Chain A
Amino acid sequence: MGKLTKEEEVLLSSYSASSSTKGTFFFYVNALILSVAPLYLFYGVHQMEVSDSLIVWTVSAVATAYLLALACKNQKRLLKHQIVMKRGPAVDREINAKYANDKKMTIKEKEERALFRKNEVADTESTYLSIFYTNTLYLSVMLGSAFFLLANLAPVFNLLLSTAGSAALVAFLSTAKN
């Protein structure tokens, strides 16, 4: 088997399970916001003191951020393939329409461009959808557990279970095969 060309490597990487740098950055920024925001709620509603709870808050924020980023990555992996299949024909039409008057471009080149565009669209859409899905699920579970299910628990345990626990549940659900 011959060595892969640069274009082939790029194409192969776009199909791989690993997320793009931009996507990973989005995931971590989003995870950071979602892991820190509940701490403010616990400070205000459950009256946790900053100085007393700093260690617990740090543990909770780090664990939640990691688990949410992981959940987003897994979710993206699941969604990307489905989106490629759905958007494929539409992207093909867009590329064909765009380069219809370009006589110099070969069919192979057009196909390659369409393939790259499909991956680009699928990557972007799956990133957005995975963040939306993960955030919605996490926020619902976290708020439900923090203020209804575990409302009478000591704030420290409530915080850890409702934030890191919800994030762990979301991460677990994202590992589903389909």
Chain B
Amino acid sequence: MHLVLAIFALLGTVDAAARVLVEKDFISMYPVANQENVYEYHLVNIGDTSAVDVVLSDRDSFPTDRFEVLKGSLDARFAVILPNATASHHIIVAPRISQPILEADVVVDYTDSETKKVSRVTTTWYNKGRFTHYLNKEAIRNLNGSTAMYFVCFGALTVPVTAMCALLYAYSKRRYSTIKKHN
């Protein structure tokens, strides 16, 4: 029993280091060219110690000749990420043309606060060979269907109430105006 506990304790001490995982999410509904496309990054420290000098870089995914960065930065720096804590970062980019673009790696460098060991984590295992096809607006319109349908439904909800009140008022007004006119 003591031996088992000793092994667990040893494993515990071996793993007692910062370990950062990175996640990249596409927040917008569809990737569309010449429109705002929102990306969200989550950095999670699943290790036992804090990660310091955490630097996230996603420059390769959004080359400036193909993308315009509208908000946020392609490089983000976090002074510290505590154990079991999460840090988030957002960017808004607008692709210049409609085209499929090969996803590049998100690279995160961080230093363990205790051992001062510098580590790197990427999204290679997830990205490899993945393309994001930024569609043009017309394609999205066909995909979503026309927004006119939503306006028609909205009108069907609101216009009857409003029009009915106007008609009833007009009817009442005409009724009493007629009496006045005849007498």
- Measured CB to CB, the nearest residue on chain B to A122 is B172
- Which chain A residues in 40-70 approach chain B with CB under 8 Å? 40-41, 43-45, 47
A132 to B166 CA separation, bound complex (whole angstroms): 6
- Which chain A residues in 8-50 approach chain B with CB under 8 Å? 30, 33-34, 36-38, 40-41, 43-45, 47
A83 nearest CB across to chain B (Å): 9
A176 nearest CB across to chain B (Å): 20
Cβ of A81 < 8 Å from any Cβ of B?
no
A94 to B179 CA separation, bound complex (whole angstroms): 7
A91 to B175 CA separation, bound complex (whole angstroms): 10
Interface bits B30-66 vs A (CB < 8 Å: 1, else 0)? 0000000000000000000000000000000000000
* A128 with B169: CB separation less than 8 A: yes
- B162 neighbours in A (Cβ, 8 Å): 131-132, 135-136, 139
In which size bucket is the chain A interface? 20 to 34
- B173 neighbours in A (Cβ, 8 Å): 125
- Measured CB to CB, the nearest residue on chain A to B162 is A135
- Measured CB to CB, the nearest residue on chain A to B145 is A44
- B176 neighbours in A (Cβ, 8 Å): 87, 90-91, 94, 121
A86 to B168 CA separation, bound complex (whole angstroms): 17
- A30 neighbours in B (Cβ, 8 Å): 161, 165
- A177 neighbours in B (Cβ, 8 Å): none
Cβ of B132 < 8 Å from any Cβ of A?
no
- B183 neighbours in A (Cβ, 8 Å): 93
* B153 with A40: CB separation less than 8 A: yes
- Which chain B residues in 154-183 approach chain A with CB under 8 Å? 154, 157-158, 161-162, 165-166, 168-169, 172-173, 176-177, 179-180, 183
Cβ of B139 < 8 Å from any Cβ of A?
no
* A90 with B180: CB separation less than 8 A: yes
* A41 with B154: CB separation less than 8 A: yes
* A89 with B158: CB separation less than 8 A: no
* A33 with B154: CB separation less than 8 A: no
- Measured CB to CB, the nearest residue on chain A to B38 is A154
- Which chain A residues in 132-172 approach chain B with CB under 8 Å? 132, 135-136, 139
Report, nearest first, the 10 A-B pairs whose CB atoms are least far apart.
Answer: A44-B150, A90-B176, A128-B169, A135-B162, A37-B157, A132-B165, A128-B165, A131-B165, A90-B180, A132-B166
A-B contact pairs, 25 of them (CB 8 A): A30-B161, A33-B157, A34-B161, A36-B157, A41-B150, A41-B154, A44-B149, A44-B150, A44-B153, A90-B177, A90-B179, A93-B180, A93-B183, A94-B179, A121-B176, A124-B168, A124-B172, A125-B169, A125-B173, A128-B168, A128-B172, A131-B161, A132-B162, A132-B169, A135-B158
Residues of B within 8 A of A (CB): 29, 144, 147, 149-151, 153-154, 157-158, 161-162, 165-166, 168-169, 172-173, 176-177, 179-180, 183
